[in-house]
Amino acid sequence: MKIAVFVSGGGTNLQAIIDKIASGEIRNVEIAEVIASNNKAYAIERAKIAGIPSKVISKKELGDAYDEATLQELNGLGVDLVVLAGFLSMLGPKTVQAYANRIINIHPALIPSFCGQGMYGIRPHEAVLAKGVKVSGATVHFVNEHYDEGPIILQKAVDVLPDDTPETLQKRIMVECEQVILPKAIQLIADGKIEVVNNLVRVVQ
């Protein structure tokens, strides 16, 4: 299965995918290209080090042409799956429709809590601590035209600890949740084990 990975920042989720392909934990999956929303993303370096082609497609620069440019790029690559791995922007409607149920996103909270527009990066963790909830985690879901609303594929939780800061919670969720369930979801899809029925995901055994 050929995938494109969209990134915006540090790229720890991208690195987890690269490492698990290299170690054989992810099988029959090839990253065709890493696509960054901006040229400052350290994830681009990670792609270079791993010998994976990368490209910047910037919504800021392209404006109205962004959606079409993304769609053409994906069609040209011939990818089976699009992975948003720390992608802090939103794909355009044509791309989302053309790749319905073939785009997945990792969100650093337990959807439907602490998600939606503006809830990205460190912010969900700040909101979790401000609310005082006792568990948080991460969610992998299919992408539709609304922020963080498509069918949920996998979730993993951790306890929120009394002395957590947004940064310690973010780190624990990245390592213990995101970097576990995103590679796992990719493998389930590569193995043909994910079905979407009535907007709900069923994992086929």
**Distance from C-alpha of 5 to C-alpha of 83, rounded to nearest angstrom:** 5
Interface contacts to ligand GAR, rule CB under 6 A: 7, 9-13, 43, 85-86, 88, 106-108, 120-121, 174, 178
Minimum gap (Å) between residue 8 Cβ and ligand GAR: 7
Kindly report the number of other CB atoms within 10 A of residue 123's CB atom. Answer: 15
Half-sphere exposure in the Cβ direction for 89 (13 Å, CA): 21
- Both structure tokens of 172: 């624990």
Q: Report yes or no: 19 and 50 within 8 Å, Cβ to Cβ.
A: no
CB of 92 to ligand GAR, least distance (A): 17
Q: Which residue lies nearest ligand GAR, judged by its C-beta?
A: 86
Q: What are the DSSP calls for 119-148, one per residue? A: --TTHHHHHHHHHT-SEEEEEEEE--SSTT
As annotated, the active-site residues are 107
As given in the structure block, the two tokens for residue 132 are 């005082």
Number of neighbouring beta carbons within 10 Å of residue 109: 24
Select 127 or 192, whichever has its Cβ closest to ligand GAR. 127
- Nearest approach in angstroms of CB 107 to ligand GAR is 5
| 86/151 with CB nearer ligand GAR | 86
Using an 8 Å Cβ cutoff, are 13 and 84 in contact?
no
Nearest approach, Cβ of residue 197 and ligand GAR (Å): 25
Q: How far is the C-alpha of 142 from the C-alpha of 65, rounded, in Å? A: 24
Beta carbon of residue 129, minimum distance to ligand GAR (angstroms, whole number): 15
Nearer to ligand GAR, 66 or 120 (CB): 120
Decide whether 89 or 101 has the Cβ nearer to ligand GAR: 89
Comparison of 174 and 185: residue with beta carbon closer to ligand GAR: 174
